Amino acid sequence: MFLPCNKTVTVYPWSSNNGYDDVYGTGVSVSCYWEKIQRIVNSGNQQFLTSAFIQFPAGTPVTKKDRIVLSDGDTGAIVSFYSGDICIEIWLGEAQNGGF
């Protein structure tokens, strides 16, 4: 189900890695739906605590390596990325060490 685009985020496209850190291009404001949600996500042997859910229309130029900043200034690593025919769904969050 696609939710209405009622907010914006700034997407900084991943450019390269200089051997130490990721390097990002110029940020672009993109319309989307987002809300802050805390949820535990398991991916393989890794466990993540999410901070936000973001949904973009299908075809929006965003990738798993990009940096996303919410309109309130919050950000986090992309811990889940799904791209389908109708939409792109992303969860921001952080890895949890040692479980809960």
What digits encode the pLDDT tens for the residues 45-57? Answer: 888 889 999 999 9
For 56-86, how does the pLDDT look when each residue is reduced to its tens digit (9 = 90+)? Answer: 999 999 999 999 999 999 999 999 899 999 9
- Sequence ranges of the domains in the chain: 7-96
Assign 97 a pLDDT band (cuts: 50, 70, 90): low
The CATH class, in words, for 7-96 is mainly beta
pTM above 0.75, yes or no: yes
DSSP per residue, 7-59: EEEEEE-EEEE-SSSEEE---EEEEEEEE----EEEETTEEEEEEEEEEEETT
Residue 67 in tokens: 């940096």
